Amino acid sequence: MPFTLHIVGSKSLGGAERFALRLVSALAERGAPLALVARQGSEVVGQTPAGVPLHESPMKTVWDPLSKLALSRLLKRLRPDLAQTYMGRATRLTRLPSGRRPVHVARLGGYYKLDGYRHAHAWIGNTKGLCDYMVQGGLPAERVFHIYNFIDPPPAVTPATVTAARRELGIPDDALLLMTAGRFVEVKGQCHLLDAFARLPREIGGRPLWLVMVGDGLLRPALEAQAATLGIAPRIAWTGWRTDPAPYFEMADLVVFPSLENETLGNVILEAWVHDKPLVTAAFRGAREIVHADEDALMVPCADAPALADAIRHALADPAAAQAMAACGRARVLREFSRDAIVDQYLALYGRLLGV
């Protein structure tokens, strides 16, 4: 198998970084020779899977000549057959000459400006829409490849762990729980979820209705202020950023994902399905590509709080139908978005690009 080097220049963990860690772990389990390059002192360093060789590199800014030099020297020393970069910083700092080896593959997880990616030799998009965007932006179609993300089966979570997490957050034992996860940034649309939550009754079927917000980010103060203004703050639990969100998915009665149109894929959709949880999602472009509306999730227009509230109310009113949709979602994860299926596609692509 070819030796691949996976380069992540981010400081903190997000969807792209978590996927990079999952992928290198999965490739290593297949016996593929590889190594991970992470930004010095980043959260990625602390989450590197056991047994995966790790190298740290400054990657301070995309323009820093010393960072570029350090990464260049590392690439020359390690001599990979293929270097796969994630996000803009790692891609901009990685400069490889044209030729058979090493091949530079840039993986995009968003609709970024393409100027910082054009020097790569090939590109991977995690949705078909993103691949279309790259081709329309002038990248050669024969070097643009579509591979979805995969999601691992969730770690086992005991009922005692879930109970402890609920009590830590101050959630009543009989509460009915909505849950969402993600960075607190504009594209995630959490402000519309708060508006929708304020439109729902305080109790449903005699059970208090609560919302669990898993994540953190620059918008947290604004979201907390919005919740206070709406009078819903006492029924919202803010967990902060969690590297393992499994207990919070497990405690949820319904997962809600209110992202806006610019959301590319939306890993929370896959996470809800793999946890066998009913899902209400906004109809952003990634959701339109992977969700079968009314079969594996309820889907509503983006930025539409009344519609979001109605869908939540509908899902909670018919738990059996909601759980049937969750089962359909879980079946699709196992069939279409499993680790084995996606890793097979990556290994096939590496062989194709390297002519082996």
Per-residue pLDDT tens over the stretch 261-305? 999 998 899 999 999 999 999 999 999 999 999 999 999 999 999
Cβ–Cβ under 8 Å, residues 204 and 316: yes
Tell me the C-alpha distance between 49 and 206, whole Å. 45
pLDDT of residue 19: 92
Task: Answer whether residue 101 shows pLDDT above 90.
Answer: no
Q: Are residues 128 and 35 in the same domain?
A: yes
- The reply to whether 30 and 136 lie within a common domain is yes
- Kindly state whether residues 320 and 350 are assigned to the same domain: no
Measured distance CA(186)–CA(146) in Å, rounded:
26
Task: Report whether pLDDT(356) > 90.
Answer: no
Average per-residue pLDDT in the chain?
Answer: 95
Predicted local distance difference test score (pLDDT) of residue 181? 96
pLDDT band at 255 (very low <50, low <70, confident <90, very high): very high
Q: Are residues 89 and 172 in the same domain?
A: no
How many Cβ atoms are within 10 Å of 327's Cβ, its own excluded? 13
Is the confidence at residue 98, as pLDDT, over 90? no
Q: Mark residue 248 as left, alpha or beta (left: phi above 0; alpha: psi -120 to 50; beta: remaining).
A: alpha
Q: For residues 70 and 101, state if they share a domain.
A: yes
With beta carbons less than 8 A apart as the criterion, state whether 177 and 251 touch: yes
Q: How are beta strands 203-204 and 4-8 bridged, if at all?
A: unpaired
* Cα distance between residue 56 and residue 59, in whole Å: 9
Structure confidence by residue, pLDDT tens digits, 122-162: 999 999 999 999 999 999 999 999 999 998 888 899 999 99
- Is the predicted pLDDT of residue 86 greater than 90, yes or no? yes
What is the residue range of 211's domain? 159-336
At 152 the pLDDT is: 86
Q: Which of 289, 19, 329, 308 has the alpha carbon at shortest distance from 152?
A: 19
The helix (H) or strand (E) run that includes residue 212 is strand 207-214
Q: Domain count for the chain, please give it.
A: 2
Tokens at 265, concatenated: 């894929």
> The tokens of 211 are what?
């919302």
Do residues 176 and 318 both lie within one domain?
yes
Residues 125 and 167 in one domain: no
Q: Report whether 211 contacts 235 (CB < 8 A).
A: yes
Residue 233 confidence (pLDDT) above 90: yes
Pair 172, 130 in one domain: no
- CATH code (residue 56): 3.40.50.2000
Confidence band of 6 (pLDDT split at 50, 70, 90): very high
Domain co-membership, 133 together with 244: no
Q: Are residues 126 and 15 in the same domain?
A: yes
Tokens of 2: 């070819």
Residues 144 and 47 grouped into a single domain: yes
166/171 Cα distance (integer angstroms)? 5
Predicted local confidence at residue 31, as pLDDT: 96
Q: With beta carbons less than 8 A apart as the criterion, state whether 63 and 37 touch.
A: no
Beta carbons within 10 angstroms of residue 56's beta carbon: 17
Q: Is the pLDDT of residue 43 over 90?
A: yes
Task: Provide mean pLDDT across the span 72-99.
Answer: 94
Q: Are 200 and 313 in contact (CB under 8 A)?
A: yes
pLDDT of res. 29: 96
Phi, psi of 184 (to 5 degrees): -90, 80
Position 1 scores a pLDDT of 87
8 A C-beta contact, residue 181 and residue 211: no
Q: What is the DSSP letter of 297?
A: B
User: Within the chain, where are the H helices?
Assistant: 15-29, 43-46, 65-78, 87-93, 128-136, 159-168, 190-199, 220-230, 246-251, 267-274, 285-290, 305-317, 319-336, 339-354
Q: Are residues 293 and 319 in the same domain?
A: yes
Q: How many residues does the chain have?
A: 356
